[in-house]
Amino acid sequence: MNLNKRALFLIIPVVFLSFLVASSAFYWSLEKTIRGLEENRLELAITELTTSFHQYSTFAESYLEATLQNTALRRFLSSQDSQYKQVSLGTAITKATGKFKHHRSDRLSFLIVDHINMEKPKEQFFFEISDDPFSNLSSGLRRDYESFIASNNSRVWGYTQEPDGTGKITTSRIVDRITLFEPTDIASNNSVLLQLAVEPTRYLELKKSLIETYQADISYNKVLPNNSYAFRNKAYLGPGEVLFIDVPESYLTERLLPVRATIILVSIALFFVSALILLHLVKRYITGPIESLESQLSNVVDQHQDNISISHIGNDEVGRLQRTFHKLYGELATAYKRTKQLAERDPLTQLHNMSYIHEQAANAIEEAREKDECVALIYIDLDNFKFVNDKYGHDVGDALLQAFAARLSSAVRSEDLVCSKKMPLASPGRIAGDEFSVVVRGIHDATVPEQIGKRVLSLFKEGFHFDKGQFPVSASIGISMYPADGDTLAELLANADNAMYQAKDNGKNSIAFYSKELATSMRRRMEIEHELHNMDTDKEFYLVYMPLVATKNNSVDGFEVLLRWNSPKLGFVGPDEFVPIAERCGLFEKIDNWVTENAMRQYAQLKESLGRDFKLSINLSSAQLNLNLIGHRLIELIKQHKIPSHCIQLEMTETLSVEFSRQANQFLELLREQGFNVAIDDFGTGHTALLQLVEYPADMIKFDKTFVEKAMEPTNRAMLGPLVSLCHSQGLKVTVEGVETKEMASYLTDIGCDYLQGYYFGKPAKLEDLKLENF
């Protein structure tokens, strides 16, 4: 049997059975859905019917109550003028119905019966609003009030279904003629029966519509003995009044007949169409490939096409032969593509590698030279990546680089860049390690490189977060431009690298553009970094002490220990210059350990000279606070040198801001639990709000010298007092740096500052140069 016949005898029956099963399942599902929709529709109709009935019932009660409050009724019951009082009462009733216009009724009647007893009832007044101007009291209404009198009740509500399909809601009440309240003796001659009858016109219309729509059987207060119903429901109209609704099965059958016919016709049509399509596909994808296989093989051999196309997916000889040849030639093509990718892509991040960046940048520069355009080279370095890689392992480091590469590709998409002219093209790449680049070509708007840089920086808000956690990593970005900053890639790369280091010096997670001044600064930075790596700390580092004066008794309460560096090659280098470089190149832990160990070692000597314990303030790198590298070492040192922990105050810079606050808070809480004091140093130099700073687990805030100098100006002086009061309200002591005159010291003492520091009290000095007799 050939393949065409095999397909005919095997595929067609399967398709037929599939359509049969699918159509049946679809019909059953649709039937269930239609039944549910009809049930919901009936439920809504019954709800509307019940609501309408209740509105009329409420209307009858409200109308009767309103009539009792009407002065016309009182005049009627007390007046002797029979003709006048009937006209007056009729007019009042007609006006009252205007208040209830939203309850449409084709017939409303009001009846007053005097002398309430079964033998001599007297119909004193009857008024009806209807289409019949000559209407009289009907026998039905008379039976209703006679039945009411016989019940010996003072209030009765009821609904009467008439043989003609209409009905009325009757509300009756017996009241005292004078007070219009319920009498103590219902049969008293002074009692009057008031009866209001309302035809619920809208309710009757809705009931009629429901019967016509659903061919329903409706009965009151009993269930019809009908077993062949599709739906059965009931509505509660009032006390003792229940409406039963039965929808026959024939209603649902009629609804389903068109659906059933449609499904059958559509299924038959789809079956024949599918059968024809399958026969066509069999011919095209089974028998046809046999004829085309030889032609394709010849074209591949003759290099007219790269590979044969797999047009047959079966497991017969043709299919296996096609896949074998396709695999053979596919592996050859894949090997070529893989070799090309390895030559152009970084294997870890899948960004362009340095080799491709060179080629791409060279083409961009050549194109820019011809079109008089600009090219930007953006150099990105990940701050603190080395620490993450060493502390958490290379697997986490590699995962971080991959996550950043993916986000970098999204951040530099050209369609997201705002440009008034031609759209620039930005291509990211990896230079090496944690260094990346973005080559931007076709620049007509000078703001585009900075836009890209800001997009990259936005990826590092509060560190870098990805599926393995949140890590203290930021980015420093340097930008150089063709032709202003170089004519070759080598020049642009070197200058962007220098600008990147300037961004690090500016506080990391920032952008810097290349300039000549920057080049000079970078040479100085490189010299400092080289000396830091090769220095002898014990010979070149030394400590100086700055007095900390308590304002409450104008005495020295302690000292702040400060680090100084005297390099044999560079001379004196200030901490403001070398500390940021040390943090960037990973030497902060080494320096902090040297400072804390030597300061605590000298504590005993200073204590012996002073003859008492004192407060020793030690500055710590913000990286230590964020990464908690020195906490346990501090605890060991105070135990080793027998220093009370409350005598040690650890100072962190305000430029820590809210960056990595969770790690910093945990570290600071650990130190405070051990008894250490914590101070926020250099307040006023960063960008942190004071209300954020007071939320840190700290004991003291130190106002920076520059900040205080500006605050001491006459136009600004009024703000210092409230700032000090706010800190005190949060349980924080206040220290002011840079006090250089007696006037400053007096003023700051008067506004409540707790501690003062500055040259007025003494310059920083080595331990051996301190004049302790003054303290």
Q: Which of 381, 434, 505, 682 is catalytic?
A: 434
Q: Are 285 and 312 in contact (CB under 8 A)?
A: yes
DSSP string, 95-115: HHHGGGTTS--S-EEEEEEES
Report the alpha-carbon angle 705-604-682, nearest 5. 15
Main-chain dihedrals φ then ψ at residue 756, nearest 5 degrees: -130, 145
Q: Could you tell me which residues come within 8 angstroms of residue 344 by beta carbon, excluding any fewer than 6 positions away?
A: 352, 353, 355, 356
Main-chain dihedrals φ then ψ at residue 464, nearest 5 degrees: -115, 120
Could you give the C-alpha distances from 601 to 612, 647, 764, 775, in angstroms and in order?
Answer: 16, 14, 18, 20
Task: Give the 3-state secondary structure of 143-210.
Answer: HHHHHHHHHCCCEEEEEEECCCCCEEEEEEEEEECCCCCCCCCCCCCCEEEEEEEECCHHHHHHHHHH
For 723, the enclosing helix (H) or strand (E) is helix 720-729
Residue 622 class from Cβ within 10 Å (0-12 exposed, 13-18 middle, 19+ buried)?
A: buried
Main-chain dihedrals φ then ψ at residue 505, nearest 5 degrees: -65, -25
The question of whether 381 is a catalytic residue gets the answer: no
Q: Could you tell me which residues come within 8 angstroms of residue 668 by beta carbon, excluding any fewer than 6 positions away?
A: 625, 652, 678, 696, 697, 698
Q: CB 611: neighbour CB atoms within 10 A? A: 8
Any idea which residue has 């702040």 for tokens?
560
Structural tokens at position 563 = 């680090």
Torsion angle of C-alpha atoms 139, 142, 147, 153, degrees rounded to 10: 160
3-state secondary structure at position 230: strand
Residue 329 class from Cβ within 10 Å (0-12 exposed, 13-18 middle, 19+ buried)?
A: middle
Amino acid at 13: P
Q: Which candidate, 313, 284, 273, 281, places its Cα nearest to that of 16?
A: 273
* Cα 339 to Cα 343: distance, rounded to the nearest angstrom: 6
* Cα 603 to Cα 597: distance, rounded to the nearest angstrom: 10
Query: Cis peptide before 547, with omega less than 30 degrees from 0?
Result: no
Q: Are 428 and 412 in contact (CB under 8 A)?
A: yes
Q: Which candidate, 499, 504, 495, places its Cα nearest to that of 529?
A: 504
Q: Which candidate, 587, 585, 584, 664, places its Cα nearest to that of 631?
A: 664
Q: Are 111 and 119 in contact (CB under 8 A)?
A: no
* Cα 636 to Cα 600: distance, rounded to the nearest angstrom: 11
Q: Which candidate, 762, 745, 759, places its Cα nearest to that of 551?
A: 745
Amino acid at 325: F
* Cα 237 to Cα 530: distance, rounded to the nearest angstrom: 96
* Cα 437 to Cα 360: distance, rounded to the nearest angstrom: 12
Could you give the C-alpha distances from 753 to 91, 140, 704, 758, in angstroms and in order?
Answer: 88, 98, 13, 14
Q: Are 459 and 404 in contact (CB under 8 A)?
A: yes
Q: Are 558 and 644 in contact (CB under 8 A)?
A: no
Return the active site residues. 434
